[in-house]
Amino acid sequence: MQLLWPIDYGLWTIKSAMNAKANIKYVNLEITDADILYEDNHLIAVNKRAGDIVQVDETGDESLEDKVKKYIAKKYNKPNGAFLGVVHRLDRPVSGVILFAKTSKALERINAMFKGREMHKTYYAVVRNRPTPYAGNLVHWLVKNPQKNVTKAYNQEINGGLRSELSYKTVAELGGYYLVEVDPVTGRPHQIRVQLSTLGCPIVGDNKYGYPRGSLRKSICLHARRLEFMHPIKKEPVVIIAPVPKDGFWERFEGLMVSG
C-alpha cells in the first residue's frame, strides 16, 4: 500500500503547492462541539489540532487555552469569561487529547496527580525506520536549549539534565512506515521526539529531530491518543481517547492502534 506524505488537513494553507518555498499561513479555527472529547463540571478535554499552541507564545497566535475559554463562555452564557486551568501541554506540531481544569479545585488535584504520575498517557508515533529493538524502555537525561527550542539527549547523567523515561513497542508496519505505541513515564519537553530520534527513528515530519524533511502543514506524526486517570472529584475512572487527524494518512493507522 502506498502512503502519501505530507498532506494538508486544514490548519495550514499552502498558497503555492508547486513552489518548494510555499508560503505557509496559520489558519485559526475556533473550538466546536466536535473537538470536545470529555466534559463535566470540573474538567474538559479537547482533541488538539496539530498547529495549535496550548498557551500564548511569541508568535501572537491565539492559544488553545483562550479558544477553550471562549467556547465555555459562549456555551454557558458567561459574559465575564470562564475559568480554565492548564494542567499539561502538547508541542505545537503534535495532535491529540489535552485536558484542562474548569475549577480551581480540579486544577489543584490534577496538578498533584500529574506530579505523582497518576495520569497514564499513551501516544502513537509514525516513523520511517524500523525500531530496533522492536520494543523497549528508553532512559536519557535531557537538556533543553530554550534559545533554539531544541532538546538534547544524553545516555548518562549530566549536570542540568532531567532524567527522562518512556517505554515503546512497535505495533504495525504499513507501506514502509512503522506505527509505534509510546507510554511516557516522565513528561519532559520534546521527550518522545528526541528519545525516538536517539533510537534512530525520528518521527515522520519532525525535521527538528532528524527526519529528512518537514511537512508543509508544520505538523509531525505524533498523536496523544489516550489519557486515563481517576477523576479528582468524582473518584471514578476516566478514559479519554482522541481520534486521529483526518488527513488521508493517519486514518490508515487508526484501526491498528491497540490502545483504544
Average pLDDT of the segment spanning 145-149: 91
Find cell 495549535 and name the residue: 52
For 203, which DSSP code? B
Residue 160: band (very low, low, confident or very high) from pLDDT cuts 50, 70, 90: very high
Whole-number pLDDT of residue 18:
33
In the predicted structure, residue 9 carries a pLDDT above the cut 90: no
Is the model more confident about 215 or about 94?
94
In the predicted structure, residue 203 carries a pLDDT above the cut 70: yes
In the predicted structure, residue 2 carries a pLDDT above the cut 70: no
**129 Cβ contact list (under 8 Å, min separation 6):** 178, 200, 201, 202
Long-range Cβ contact pairs of 65-72 (< 8 A, separation 24 or more): 65/100, 67/30, 67/31, 68/31, 68/44, 68/100, 70/30, 70/31, 71/30, 71/31, 71/32, 71/36, 72/44, 72/102
In the predicted structure, residue 26 carries a pLDDT above the cut 70: no
d(CA 140, CA 165): 7
Whole-number pLDDT of residue 216:
67
Pairing state between β 95-101 and 43-48: antiparallel
In the predicted structure, residue 30 carries a pLDDT above the cut 90: yes
How is residue 10 written as a grid cell?
486544514
Residue 45: band (very low, low, confident or very high) from pLDDT cuts 50, 70, 90: very high
For the entire predicted model, the pTM comes to 0.88
d(CA 111, CA 107): 6
Whole-number pLDDT of residue 59:
80
d(CA 234, CA 42): 9
pLDDT, the chain, mean: 89
How does 96-122 read in b/e, with b if 16+ C-beta sit within 10 Å? bbbbbbbbeebbebbbebbeeeebebb
**147 Cβ contact list (under 8 Å, min separation 6):** none
d(CA 89, CA 118): 16
Query: Greatest CA span in the chain, whole angstroms?
Result: 55
DSSP string, 54-82: SS--TT-PPPHHHHHHHHHHHHTT-TT--
**What domains are defined for the chain?**
27-254 (3.30.2350.10)
Average pLDDT of the segment spanning 111-126: 97
Is the model more confident about 250 or about 12?
250
Share of the chain above pLDDT 90, in %: 79
In the predicted structure, residue 8 carries a pLDDT above the cut 70: no
Whole-number pLDDT of residue 10:
35
In the predicted structure, residue 39 carries a pLDDT above the cut 50: yes
* Residue pair 12/247 in contact by the 8 Å Cβ criterion: no
Find cell 474538559 and name the residue: 44
Average pLDDT of the segment spanning 3-15: 36
Average pLDDT of the segment spanning 231-237: 97
Whole-number pLDDT of residue 214:
76
How is residue 249 written as a grid cell?
494518512
In the predicted structure, residue 14 carries a pLDDT above the cut 80: no
- The residues that are catalytic are 91
